[in-house]
Structure 1
Amino acid sequence: MAGTRTQADEAREAVVEAALARLDLDAKARLLAGQDMWTLPALPEIGLKSLVMSDGPIGVRGVRWTADDPSVALPSPTALAAAWDPGLARRAGTLLAQEARRKGVHVLLAPTVNLHRSPLGGRHFEAYSEDPYLTGVIGAGYVSGVQSGGVGTTVKHFVANDAETDRFTVDNVVSARALRELYLAPFEIIVENAHPWGIMTAYNTVNGTTMTEHHHLVNEVLRGEWGFDGYNVSDWMAARDTVAAIEGGLDVAMPGPRTVYGDALARAVRDGKAAEGKVDDAVRNVLRLAARVGILDGAEPVVAEPPEQIDGTELAREIARRSFVLVRNQGALPLRPNGTVALIGAAARDARVLGGGSATVFPARVVSPLDGLTAALPEGTLTYAVGADPNTELAVADKGFELRAVCRDKDGQVIGTGSAPNGQIQWMGADLPDGVTHDTLHTVELTGTFTPRATGPHTFGIKGIGAFTLVIDGTAYYDDVQRPAKDDPFITFFGAPVPRAQPELTAGEPVEVSLTHVVEFPEDAPMKVVGFTLAHQEPQRDPDELIAEAVEAARAADTAVVVVATTDRVESEGYDRTDLGLPGRQDELVRAVAAANPHTVVVVNSGSPVELPWREDVAAVLLSWFPGQEGGAALADVLTGAHEPGGRLPTTWGSLTAAPVTEVVPSDGRLPYTEGVFIGYRAWEKERAIPSYPFGHGLGYTDWTYESAEVRGTTVTVRVRNSGERAGREVVQIYVAPSEPDTDRPARWLAGFAGVEAGPGERGEAVIELPRRAFEVWDETANSWTFVKGSYEIQVGRSIADRRVTATINV
């Protein structure tokens, strides 16, 4: 299913087999275990270089978690999916391959193709959609792009890793039909159409078996039915049992050096507990990957000449503006030429461009909405007010801080220094400053100066576990040990900072700051990590005063643009949401501004749905997702009308009380997916619930007339006309609906889409081939796909709820 091998593939396979034959058991077992956080060991005896992996999916961080090595930061995956353009996804992937090669990375740990099962999923910004077909098609474009640059991908997290709560241990109980029709479907589409070189198995358990040991789903379905021939790597620290993992089809256990493979795997083979043939299968998959990326001597890489260079800044800006979804517009956008604008919101000044967790990268620059509009609008036409700050907790020390890291041994002697562009230290494995080793390192001091932007009580805090000393302006405010609040191996990275000091500081007057951490490496830890954070929060002004200032600014302007946002404590890897509300007093701010200015535009800076209780009270609502490093420039492009907002919703937006599927918290370790195949718009329609904005919805700056839909065989030809006054792009969406209603099946489902571009008055045509799978269901009794014959209505339109023309197909 994944494709037949070419002559070049066969040549690489011959090199792989020859290399495999020269390895003894210990070398083979060692190759399957990470040698550190991000790499596999080199085996010089067969001409194998060390394989390097790096987190994605919006950028390539590389092996160092630091702003010293900047990365292009593209918009979030939800934004990429909102563009509804596999070609754009492919270009994004090609750029990331370019970034990976620049950083010496061979494999990108992306894309995430889990589904938006419940709107409470805290990591949904890192996935594409609630719909498996849209997810699979966008994911296939992304994978094809990355691999066109000679860099591997690991499609993740296989499978049903659709929430964060208890993700290490939860047993997701999913019917075979729901697995096939929803959760496995994106992986299947990508394997069939993009032939990924890697897959990542998830932390969670599915139907009683942890995914790193899931023989049925990995060996029988992924490799057997679908013909996947890439390597299977565990999510970091997900592998638990040596024999069960190798029997279950896990090739690589990451990270190292302590894993269930390596010496443990070799010992299991010698003790007769594991078959060496299984080890050979896994090694063969790793060597095949190495051959494909060009690090195995004698094997010609799949890509000998990388694609032409792509301008990352320009592509980031293009993706952002094409992803923005205009869900409401009462004539407020584009902005009036030469009109005055009041820009309001803390996120307009300190932009949130990406989600929290392992997807974090460090761009060389970030264009905030304030930056973008300042550059785009005539001088003197823009004012700014904070209005309301969503950051009710401390954030990483950044603005105004000039810090460095000083490493000392037990005698207090300096053994090395490193730069610290912000207050976050994350050194994993061998990623230490020059001259520093784990054996000699005793303390790390973050030290430097802080120049406040505001006068008043500044709050400082610490994120991390262990002994800390916090000194500000010569005063020691904390000298004690912080203990973890919960048993989570990633609490150091994803937990909340603890406030520890609140000195009175004066704007513009620098003070010395120092945070010293005593480093400990537990003997049973799977890897050696130095991780802690100096956090900070500016003086908190009276919220009523801030809102009042924003109202006055709005009243004095022709248009008010309010930027509202979520925070790292709302959307991040590591935890789910408890509600869909905007943090802080942002809803109150919007209502107050809208009451003062009827031309109020709200820009929603979130990676996934939030509730918008004021949406009918404002003139326009624009969803900007997490827009990447060029988000502010792209926002100016769209607000001024230089470009239209091109996005359509990849996920239903609605209130939590109306949402049909909300459960993400396991009970007794189990989370039953009781809704079966009804998630997303399928569930909203089944429950006859009305969302705020339906799946597929999005407005541009022109109008479209749907003239006809014609079906020949399984090919649908749709003709549309641009009936507006400016050029634009329409996303033609096709939904298939059984003519005979069936309570066991959704009322309709997405079966195809295409973009059409046309000038004013011009016609465009979309030709869309419907896949066979659009007419199949998984028969749990027969354990196979069943083609459901009959009459179907082909419904064509602008969203799941705005269907303009229809046709009938009999299959």
Structure 2
Amino acid sequence: MNESVRHLREQMTLTEKASLTSGANFWNTKPVPRLGIPSIMLTDGPHGLRKQGGAADHLGLNSSIPATCFPTAATLANSWDAELLHRVGEALGDEAAAESVSVLLGPGLNIKRNPLAGRNFEYFSEDPLVSGALAAAFIRGVQSRGVAASAKHFAVNSQETHRMSIDEIVDERALHEIYLEGFRLAITGGDAWTVMSSYNKVNGTYANENRELLDGILRRRWGFDGLVVTDWGGNNDRVGGLVAGNALEMPSTGGVTDREVVRAVEGGTLDAAVLDARVDEVLALIEKTSPRGAAPADLDAHHELAVEAARQSIVLLANRAGTLPLGPGAGRIAVIGDFAETPRFQGAGSSLVNPTRVDSALDALQAAGLDIVGYEPGFARRDAASTRLRRRALALAARAEAVLLFLGLDESAEAEGVDRAHMRLAQNQLTLAEDLIALGKPVIVVLAGGSPVELPFAERVDAIVHGYLAGQGGGRAIVEVLTGVVNPSGRLAETYPLRYADVPSSKAFTKTEATSEHRESIYVGYRYYDKVGAPVRYPFGHGLSYTAFSYADLVADATTARVTVTNTGDRAGAEIVQFYVEAPDAAAGVFRAPRELRGFVKVRLEPGASATVDVALAEHAFDVFDVAAGDWRTVAGSYAVLAGASSRDIRLSASVEIAGDTGSEADTAQLPHYVSGHVEQVTSTEFEALLGSPLPTPDWSTGRALTRDDIVAQTKGRGGFGGLLYFLIDTSSDVLMRLRRPLAANNTRFVLDLPFRSIPRLSGGKFDDDMLVGLLLMVNRRFFRGARHLIGAALRLRARNSRNPKAN
């Protein structure tokens, strides 16, 4: 233990220790002036600094200082470039240090289990190796500037619907192989100083109180020695969190939970040594960080880095007959689509950055030397029919020889706190696209959005460029790709299914209230589609270039793979070489994915040039997680190491004999669909056999009184004041959406997922637990009794505060 940390802690009173492990306000820890312990600031975000100078919130409601908005994680993942992620991390660390921010709350690296998850834009990939490797590089970059990164949300934060109460039911093998492996790589490879626990439960226990997750796995198995912080308002049982390994509760609860900690220690229900260990973790973080006097960040240089990050991440999905790049001979071009002029470059919620500037594609196109005949928005930003906008766009297209059509998901579609309702583009965009295609002229689609969408027109347009959410410099970067100034090198870090119904979790995702059953187990993304041979729109790892690459001389063993790559085209470019491991008989005979990504490298080559690359295969390249043994186990057999340009574009194969255990991965007699891969057909009985335990009830129980542990949404349909409360929140959200204020609408709806217990804790001392008793009586159809209790409790609280205005 650091001697200075121990010395400080030994001088602290019990009250000071309890106080140090919770927030002073929304973004800062509590100082201990008597001992010279300063307050430090934690703030969002994963792809840009969101430091609020005024009113504070966790949902992007109030303004923050200008900062560089880099591409979101979903976009950066398409670069497959760890060095680029390190540079972005360094820049974010510089901006945080310049603003005296000690902890940057990112990166987010939850697995993208389902395309409709509302925060997919904040996460890297459906694959843990891509997620973990890129997150580790990002973390190292941030922390090289003396600012802590925070890997989040630990763990299995797979949906936004009921996120503060949902119980994620996942089998132990999938937990380790899919949902935890990226975190392991990020934390061990990046030496993360902090981890943020998630709101949800994992197999019945809140993540923030889950001793197996926070102590057994994070600390003992992986060797993490940093600090665990709650998500904002993510504390259920403060004492339980301390015991599990959570050191810091954020934001401030007005002293409510500090008193709980003091009482627990004094009453003997919390070992003082446990509190001391958590205090040590807070003090160590303060000592490591507390940036003061850092030089101002170079925001001009950071904008150029944001442009470069977008360039490396843009994906060319389709390019029929070499339509792109557009050159001087492209003829008259009509630019259509609202996203051209007003780019959608980031998501919404706690990661919402106030950019220092924004490059629009329309401005960049007009400066690119192309013959632009005009621009029309073509459709309303939100899905509302407009004959006038559509007719003006078609009239413009009639005057052109080609159409650049900018489509995408609008701001209401992807946001923290809500999941998407479907995987389609807005109907007004689809209608316009069909009308433009019918003109018979080349149509080039430019997409914006942080997660897959259905593309029914994909085979009938001439090219598709996907910018994802490309940050404040994305407009310029997209035009450089369109015109060939930049050769696209992004590759998809997630699979694009043909339709949402093809997703193995589509039948159940967000359909239940109390639990979310991960019946698909390890078969997430390409692991599922490749197992069952399902057709997809674009496979994992897919992306095109303006040049071509050949592969030769693949050599592999148990630890490394080597291949020679040659640029066979006529322009410089970059190839992302992907190494997959194919397990013996995995395609049909055993409970394993047919192939899994186990290494990758980005190779930049001039025309005609070759390079031989050596890549270390992932630590568990030939392993499965053995549930009975509680550890990883190498499975013996003859494996194929594959080199390819996507999970379905395999160029070379090399055989590798692996020594290990020949035992089966599971008792597969009861798991036929896990052997075949058709997990969309898994029954409750089969899933229970995999779990080794009965399934909990998937929906809320009705007919009982609501408690402090229930959420506001459970007032729906209860009648009386509870039903009215739900109606007012729900209606307010709908009205705000109709007024075209999607961020405010989504954030209003967020209240529905708030547990009643969080109301006093997040009220800043204006609402206490005694008042909550009255509120619960009111929603439980005892309105007048509850109202009297609530008013009396409010008066008592007011009297206490007037007698002791400095309390808490």
Q: TM-score range by the shorter chain?
A: 0.7 to 0.9
> Aligned-pair distance for 1:257?
3.7
Q: Distance in 2 between matches of 1:600 and 1:94?
A: 39
Q: Distance in 1 between matches of 2:296 and 2:220?
A: 32
TM-aligned CA distance change 1:328 to 1:259, over 3 Å: farther
Bigger helix fraction: 2
Match of 1:186? 182
Of structures 1 and 2, the one with the larger relative CO (CA 8 A, separation 6+) is 1
Residue in 2 that maps onto 1:61:
50
Two-structure CA RMSD over aligned residues (Å): 1.9
What pairs with 1:1-16 in structure 2 (closer than 5 Å)?
Answer: 13-16=2-5
Corresponding position of 1:805: 652
- The 1:325/1:214 distance shift into structure 2, 3 A limit, reads same
8 Å contact from structure 2 (residues 52, 65) kept in 1? no
CA-to-partner distance for each residue in 1:785-807, whole Å, 9 max, x for gaps? Answer: 11112211011110001000111
Counterpart CA distance in 2 for 1:130 and 1:282 is 33
Asked if 1:164 corresponds to 2:153, the answer is no
Q: Distance in 2 between the 1:15 and 1:368 partners?
A: 51
| Aligned: 1:366 with 2:211 | no
Range moving further from structure 2, 114-123 or 611-620: 114-123
Cα gap change, 1:259 to 1:587, in 2 (>3 Å): farther
The residue number in structure 2 matching 1:692 is: 537
| 1-structure distance, mates of 2:437, 2:585 | 46
Give the 5 Å matches for 1:62-141: 62-64=51-53, 66-67=62-63, 69-141=65-137
Distance across 2 between alignment mates of 1:309 and 1:387: 34
Residues 192-249 of structure 1, C-alpha deviation per residue, up to 9 Å, x if partnerless? Answer: 1111000001110001100111111101110111110111000111112132121121
Residue 478 of structure 1 corresponds to none
CA distance in 2: counterparts of 1:305 and 1:195, whole angstroms: 25
Equivalent pair of 2:373/2:399 in contact (CA under 8 Å) = no
Counterpart position of 1:757 = 604
Are 1:714 and 2:559 matched, yes or no? yes
1:34·1:259 contact (CA, 8 Å) conserved in 2?
Answer: no
Q: Is residue 2:27 matched to residue 1:38?
A: yes
Deviations 1:322-352 (A, max 9, x none): 1111010011111121532211101111111
For residues 626 and 590 of structure 2, the distance between their equivalents in structure 1, rounded to whole angstroms, comes to 15
Of residues 40, 50, 58 in structure 1, which corresponds to 2:39? 50
2:479 paired residue among 636, 654, 666: 636
Partner amino acid, structure 2, of 1:618: V
Letter in 1 for 2:496: W
Give the deviation of 1:598 after TM superposition: 3.2
The offset of 1:551, in angstroms, is 2.2
Residue matched to 1:325:
315
Deviation at 1:382, TM superposition (A): 4.2
| Residue 601 of structure 1: aligned partner | 444
Q: Answer whether contact 1:149 1:307 (CA < 8 A) is retained.
A: no
Change in 2 beyond 3 A, CA 1:304/1:629: closer
Residues 1:724 and 2:569 aligned together: yes
CA contact (8 A) 1:598 1:618 kept: no
Contact 1:78 1:129 in 2 (8 A): yes
- Is 1:660–2:504 an aligned residue pair? yes
Q: Report Cα offsets for 1:7-44 as digits up to 9, x if no partner.
A: xxx7xx12211111111111111000101000001123
1:30-429 aligned at under 5 Å gives the runs 30-64=19-53, 66-67=62-63, 69-258=65-254, 261-294=257-290, 311-330=301-320, 331-337=322-328, 339-378=331-370, 381-392=372-383
Alignment of 1:529-678 (within 5 A): 543-654=386-497, 655-662=499-506, 663-665=508-510, 667-678=512-523
- Which piece of structure 1 moves more, 583-592 or 20-29? 583-592
Can you list the C-alpha shifts for 1:427-472, whole angstroms capped at 9, x where unaligned? xxxxxxxxxxxxxxxxxxxxxxxxxxxxxxxxxxxxxxxxxxxxxx
SS of equivalent to 1:161: coil
1:646-692: CA deviation from partner (whole Å, max 9, x where unpaired): 21000001110222222321535111111111111001122321110
Aligned CA distance change for structure 1 residues 242 and 713 (closer, same or farther; 3 Å): closer
| Equivalent position SS for 2:500 | coil
Alignment: residue pair count: 645
8 Å contact kept, 2:447–2:464: yes
Q: Tell me the alpha carbon deviations over residues 737-771 of structure 1, each in whole angstroms, 9 at most, x when there is no partner.
A: 01333430000000000011111111122210112
Q: Which amino acid aligns with 1:718?
A: V
| Contact kept? 1:253, 1:260, Cα under 8 Å | no
Aligned partner of 1:329: which letter? N
Do the aligned residues in 1 keep the contact of 2:571 with 2:606 (CA within 8 Å)?
yes
1:423 — aligned with what? none
TM-superposed deviation, 1:83: 0.2
Per the TM alignment, residue 631 of structure 1 is displaced from its structure 2 partner at its CA by 1.2
8 A Cα contact 2:43 2:50, kept in partner: yes
Q: Name the residue aligned to 2:727.
A: none
Separation in 2 of the partners of 1:359 and 1:147? 19
| 1:809 aligned counterpart, secondary structure | strand
* TM-score with structure 1 setting the length: 0.77
Cα 1:803–1:306 shift into 2, 3 Å: farther
**CA displacement at 1:774 relative to structure 2:** 1.1
1:568-612: CA deviation from partner (whole Å, max 9, x where unpaired): 221111111121001241112112212224321101101110011
The share of aligned pairs that are identical, in percent, is: 36
1:179, 1:228 → 2: CA distance? 18
2:286 counterpart letter in structure 1? A
Deviating above 4 A after TM superposition, structure 1's stretches of 4 or more consecutive aligned residues are 65-68, 303-310
The equivalent residue for 1:748 is: 595
Amino acid at match of 2:619: R
